[in-house]
Amino acid sequence: MIYSEKQYSRTKHQLQDLMAARAQIAENNATSDWLKKAELSALDFQITKIKKEIEHFEKLKGV
């Protein structure tokens, strides 16, 4: 859960980093299919979780 503007800013930056990592993994053809699927699934889970935290904080702050 995000409690401050500082955490909010860090979390948004982390989301951008995770989304960039996801795009890079999705484009990587050198990785085996099962490993790629596992990595993408894990990143999708983290991205979804962080997006929900950001949305919750924005609702509380009225952003």
Residue 26 resides in a domain: no
Does residue 12 carry a pLDDT above 80?
Answer: yes
Residue 41 resides in a domain: yes
| First-residue to last-residue Cα distance in the chain | 16
> What's the CA gap between 32 and 19, in Å, rounded?
20
Domain range enclosing 10? 5-20+31-61
Q: What is the pLDDT of residues 17-60, one digit of tens each?
A: 999 999 999 999 888 999 999 999 999 999 999 999 999 999 99
- Domain tally, the chain: 1
Confidence category of residue 63, pLDDT binned at 50, 70, 90:
low
Contacts of 21 (CB under 8 A, 6+ apart): 43
Residue 25 resides in a domain: no
Q: Tell me, what's the pLDDT at 41? A: 98
